[in-house]
Amino acid sequence: MDHRLLGGIAAVVAILTLPLGLLAGLFVSFEAAAVVFIVGWFLLTPLIPIVGNEIWPALRDRSGSSDESAEESPLEELKARYARGEIDDAEFERRMERLVEVEDGRAGGSANRTERELSMERE
């Protein structure tokens, strides 16, 4: 998750804890207000960033979403490198043509090699 989003959610929980705790203290009891303050400020506010930054990605990786990134196609990787500015227009076009050849099977015996292996040989 985005760090700004997690920080915003934690801030909203921290801010809403005060009025909810005061209302619980006025209309229910002091013990209810204490529970709201403890849960809001001492439990939820610190746990939201921890869960969002550490636990959620680990759980998501275990469930198999890491397989998607591991199986990223060479074309997607090439587009990402071009978008980051790691390769220029000419290099992008050359590698794109090579990928099309490999995917179409016109590259002969080297059709099983990935774009990453081919780029390692050139560099």
> Is pLDDT at 25 greater than 70 in this prediction?
yes
Joined together, the tokens standing for residue 25 give 């203290």
Alpha-carbon distances of 112 from 10, 58, 118, 121, rounded to whole Å: 48, 32, 11, 15
> Is pLDDT at 20 greater than 60 in this prediction?
yes
Domain ranges for the chain:
3-69, 74-122
> Is pLDDT at 66 greater than 50 in this prediction?
no
Alpha-carbon distances of 54 from 1, 3, 12, 20, 61, rounded to whole Å: 10, 11, 20, 28, 11
pLDDT at site 26:
95
Work out the pLDDT band at 111, boundaries 50, 70, 90: very low
Which pTM does this prediction carry?
0.45
Average pLDDT, the chain: 80
pLDDT per position as a tens digit, 72-101 = 678 888 888 888 888 888 888 998 888 888
